[in-house]
Amino acid sequence: MTTIKAPLPLLVKLTAAVVVLLGAALTFGGGYLVVLGGSWYYLLAGLGLLAVGVLIFAQRRLAIWLYAILLLATLVWTIYEVRFDWWQLAPRIDLWLALGAWLLLPVVNRYIGNLPNWRDGASGLLGIGVILGVLMGGYSLTQDYSSITGEFSDERMLGKTSGEQTGYSANEWLAYGGSARADRYSPADLITPENVGRLKKAWEYHTGDWPREGDPGELTNQVTPLKVGDNLFICTPHSIAIALNADSGEELWRFDPNINRDAKYYQHMTCRGLSYHDATAYSKTSEAVASADEPRQAAVARCTRRIFLPTNDATLFALDPVDGRPCEDFGTGGMIDLKVGMGDDARGIYLPTSPPVVTEKLVIVGGSVTDNGSVDSPGGVIRAYDVRTGELVWNWDPGNPDATEPLPAGAAYVRSTPNSWTIATADEQLGLVYIPTGNQTPDQWGVQRSPETERFTAALVALDLATGKVRWEFQTVHHDLWDRDLPSQPTLVDIDGPQGDKVPAIIQATKRGDLFVLDRRTGKPIVPVTEIPVPQGAVEGDFTAPTQPVSALSYAPTEPLRERDMWGGTPLDQLICRIQFRKLRYEGDFTPPSEQGSLIYPGNVGTFNWSSLAVDPVRQLMFGTPNYLAFVSKLVKRDEIDVKEEHRGGGEVGLQPNLGAPYMVHLGPFMSPVGLPCQTPPWGYVTAVDLRTMKPVWMHKNGTSRDNAPFIPFPLGVPALGGPVITAGGVAFLSGTLDYYMRAYDVRNGKELWKGRLPAGGQATPITYVSEKTGRQFVVGMAGGHGSFGTKIGDSLVAWVLEDEQER
């Protein structure tokens, strides 16, 4: 007797078509991956799905059996590759489980084989596979393979002292890093883990400084406010200085230098902060003011205290904090032109985006130079000016390091030398200023570098405060081809020694993730540093250093990326990322740039960036925010693409012109076709180090993708660009994550205690202080966004304060 099959419904035909299409995609993509030397799984899975699709069209029950076997095999393969790591497990099985559940639906299942009763062994096996997959997913949510779980002892956490005992003030924030030690520490202790949940918004101030026509893509407000007396001082992307009442957020004055924006090469438009000098804090300076000639005495008396404002068009203003007017005794009418000696092309290419270092007698200025614009660019000279008169006292030119006497009129500094775009730190007792240097542009082509450039690239350089002479230097990358300039402000801390003594240390965080802990008197490592062999084989004409220095205290990735570390929302985009990974050159860390395209991990954003570190000097612990994102660096021969002079400005991503070099470079994050990172999360953490043992105590993923990928509003652990603040109350604050929140953490164990919503990206370092008028502790942070980080641009300075008992 012949069995007549019922006509196949349209829904089942569409199901078969979708399965065939998925199978074809996996087969072709998987076959290509095998050719590249990758996993066979996708090819075999694709062939299996093609067979399932054909069998569904043929109404063969074997389709369900085969799909059930494919699903079970996929579950086994997934556990083999990633164990029970949720974020790696989910994209490997999500489509498989969804399709398996769909095939179990009676409206589909009973037509595959034309059975009167669809509940058979095939459906049972498929149901077991779906249930096992769901159970695997649920169990994986309870597993965490990336965190370090630990906590500081009660004895350690009780080791707080008052601001008077430690030399800090809970009422003020006098420097970018909180104090001259750049530790982002406050002795304020009114906000504690027990009451931080009661924080409420106190006020929100709007600067009114928004992007303007002709601005570069990377317009950011990364400002860390200063708190002096009863006032706050901030700056904006267009270099506008503003004073506010610290209790109410009311604007007191603003100074707009009306920067020259007619510069076609601007790469950035930002201001990270201002600097403050108080002559009355130094007895010698007070005596000098008293003995000055009468005309100058009147001017100095008005500006006994002064705020220093660096501008994007390369000038430096000294302002009276009382009214915001320029201090006329400084430079020319209160201003110094930083373009002097830098070449006719300095505007827009040389940008002092970070606050200068201020000491008793000096204001010391560095600056950023446009990345990857031209081999002939302004140099990275460091200049020290008299803090009162603006007269040039010394200049340290990395291309001519021994000639520190002030540059003669009409002369020029050496072109194309390593620059220092981040924030420096000074130790006035030792008479040293510590300069973190970057690279000579272009970053990925090093043939034209001089011996001086090679010496001072990616180095922490200690200069004599009196003369500008080099006292010592410590290089963190040899012959840098990876844009691994030193991004973080170095932090000064006196570490508890084994005999109960104090060792004067300096901690320098790097893009690779190393934390170099050095004796700041000599530059000698306190934590061991070793030289490790690294991949070789630069492009023709260039070379790579045979070894690179690494610190025993490091957040650099412990393992190189593997194909199994590739990620995506589904098996399809994960497959594409695997193919991209196999096509790139990658031999681990320090893989040289190549025409093939090289995977750079950690990438240009770095494990640490200008966010820097926070250190509790009393409890002897450090708080940091390591990031993990890979970049792709691909060299392109100049004769393949014509890049005109007007594109000299370069940028953070895309094709970089590298004028004058035989290669341009294409830079960008390692992303999937749907805009997600190709490497598996987490991509961002918070962590703490015990400075007595130099070991991490805890480390937890940080932040969600709520404002970046709303369809995955889960705690992925996202990158942060903006530094932490740590307090005597045992609470740390951070706002730099991709999602728009100010967060509070328990320093003891890293637990997130509270978060407050921000109106835009918070890519800045917050501050905290206790009001002298009200006795209440404030937390204040900028929500200005970041152009190249992809967060929403804003103009809000937001303050939080503890809710009063009466308000509850």
Dihedral of alpha carbons 341, 344, 350, 352, sign: positive
571: left (phi over 0), alpha (psi -120 to 50) or beta: alpha
Angle, vertex CA 604, rays to CA 214 and CA 629, nearest 5: 115
- Name 720's bridge partners: 737
Nearest residue to 549 (alpha-carbon basis) of 618, 457, 619:
457
Nearest residue to 749 (alpha-carbon basis) of 730, 727, 729, 768:
730
The answer to whether the CB of 166 falls within 8 A of the CB of 726 is no
Nearest residue to 780 (alpha-carbon basis) of 122, 7, 232:
232
Residue 710 burial (10 A CB sphere; 0-12, 13-18, 19+): exposed
Compute the residue count for the chain: 808
DSSP state letter for 220: B
The answer to whether the CB of 360 falls within 8 A of the CB of 282 is yes
CA distances from 457 to 11, 400, 420, 476, 479 (A): 64, 14, 10, 8, 7
- Determine phi and psi for 345, rounding to 5 degrees: -100, 15
Q: Where are the beta strands (DSSP E) in 556-677?
A: 598-600, 614-616, 621-624, 631-637, 654-656, 663-669
The answer to whether the CB of 676 falls within 8 A of the CB of 646 is no
Bond into 571 cis (ω within 30):
no
Task: Quote the tokens at residue 391.
Answer: 């007269």
The answer to whether the CB of 802 falls within 8 A of the CB of 199 is yes
Catalytic-labelled residue, pool 247, 320, 483, 739:
483
Strands 621-624 and 614-616: antiparallel
CA distances from 40 to 7, 137, 329 (A): 37, 24, 74
CA distances from 636 to 181, 536, 642 (A): 43, 19, 11
Q: Which long-range contacts (CB under 8 A, 24 or more apart) does 77-84 make?
A: 77/41, 78/136, 79/136, 81/564, 82/564, 83/143, 83/145, 84/136, 84/139, 84/140, 84/143
Nearest residue to 426 (alpha-carbon basis) of 435, 418, 413:
435
Q: Which long-range contacts (CB under 8 A, 24 or more apart) does 461-464 make?
A: 461/396, 461/434, 461/435, 461/437, 462/432, 462/433, 462/434, 462/435, 462/520, 462/523, 463/382, 463/396, 463/432, 463/433, 463/434, 463/435, 464/431, 464/432
- Determine phi and psi for 744, rounding to 5 degrees: -120, 140
Q: How many other CB atoms sit within 10 Å of the CB of residue 357? A: 27
The answer to whether the CB of 736 falls within 8 A of the CB of 721 is yes
Distance CA 475, CA 100 (A): 56
Distance CA 303, CA 323 (A): 10
Nearest residue to 269 (alpha-carbon basis) of 236, 307, 302:
236
163: left (phi over 0), alpha (psi -120 to 50) or beta: alpha
Beta-carbon contacts of 301 under 8 Å, excluding residues fewer than 6 positions away, are 289
The answer to whether the CB of 609 falls within 8 A of the CB of 629 is no
Amino acid, single-letter form, for residue 155:
E
Task: Quote the tokens at residue 307.
Answer: 């705020």
Distance CA 231, CA 244 (A): 6
Is 589 considered catalytic here? no
Q: Which residues are catalytic?
A: 483
